[in-house]
Amino acid sequence: MNQLTSLSELTVADVKAILASARELKDRFLAGDRPPLLRGRVLTMIFEKPSLRTRNSFEAAITHLGGGSTFLSTKDAGLDGREALADVARVLGSYADALVLRTFSQKLIEEFARHAGCPVINGLSDERHPCQALTDAFTVQEVFGDIRGRKLVFVGDGNNVARSLSIAAAMLEFSFTLCGPRDYWLEESLLADLRAKHADADLVQTEDVPAAVCDADVIYTDVWASMGQESEADQRKNAFAPYQVNAALMAQAPIECRFMHDLPAKRGLEVTDEVLDGPQSLAFQQAENRMHLAKGLLAWLLR
Ligand code: CP
Ligand code: NVA
């Protein structure tokens, strides 16, 4: 049984199979085909943080594939202390074919996965956002034809999204540069582990914007203060101000460079309207692709 608590749990072949499954299901969907591959299957989602894309893309995905979904807040699920986590996981896992969890704690998702008895998908934790990174790899492949050898520069915070993208980069052999203030870089231990596991991993961290973006295929950013970091918003706003993705920053990259953002965006902070709504932006294609990736993932996990 496969889990997706982090991309590191998958093999490169698994990742490629999920991307291929998503590609096939998106093509079929665009041709008007919604194959009932998961008829009668149940997906249960337990979310501790808000979500537009993750929740709704999984709900649409399982519905298109002939299954159904249920949704619980962590309080509804009794994870606020009403019941032991292992008991909740065991009970919900006996009703559902797969579970999606969105939590603060990565460990909570991993602990849940140990007891659920069915596939558990990480729908975002403070540490990881694997479904987003898979979707982003899918989107880059869709736009550029291939992802191998491309250069993605993540301008901003070394957060959950950046962490999962760095893992995807090592696995799919694209170059990943985190460009932002040193205090907000990714843990060197994560990059060292990835380099040890994937000999060709090209993972760089720098504070130097012009040097990072001058040969970028993709400039990616995300909010400066993630969910749960609201009290640090002012401090982060100051630290990240030189790293706003605006027209001047995009002008330092090649003309064909594209812009990506996982959304939700704080317009006027990490990205300006002119970039997010401009011709180089893939943000809304990424958001749409969350559903196709969710389908590909569910079909692969429950095959
Ligand atoms: N990108 C993403 O995960 O969006 P939501 O927080 O709206 O699910
Ligand atoms: N880094 C952001 C991603 C939201 C999808 C957060 O954790 O809030």
CB–CB of 298/38 below 8 Å? yes
Identify the pLDDT of residue 7. 97
Q: Give pLDDT < 70 ranges for the chain.
A: none
177: part of which helix (H) or strand (E)? strand 175-179
Distance of CA 268 to the CA centre of its chain: 22
- 135, 138, 266, 290, best to mutate for ligand 1 pocket (most atoms within 8 Å of CB): 290
Among residues 143, 137, 155, 124, which one has the least CA distance to residue 17? 137
Max CA distance (Å), the chain: 55
CB–CB of 201/174 below 8 Å? no
Angle of helix 283-301 relative to helix 130-144, nearest 10 degrees? 110
Give the ligand 1 atom nearest the CA of 263: 1
Coil/strand/helix, residue 272: coil
Identify the pLDDT of residue 1. 80
β-sheet bridge partners, residue 100: 45, 121
Q: Ligand 1 centroid to 105 CA: how many Å?
A: 17
CB within 8 Å of 20: residues ≥ 6 apart? 296
Give the ligand 1 atom nearest the CA of 262: 1
Give the ligand 1 atom nearest the CA of 57: 8
Which residue has 């460079």 as its token pair?
A: 257
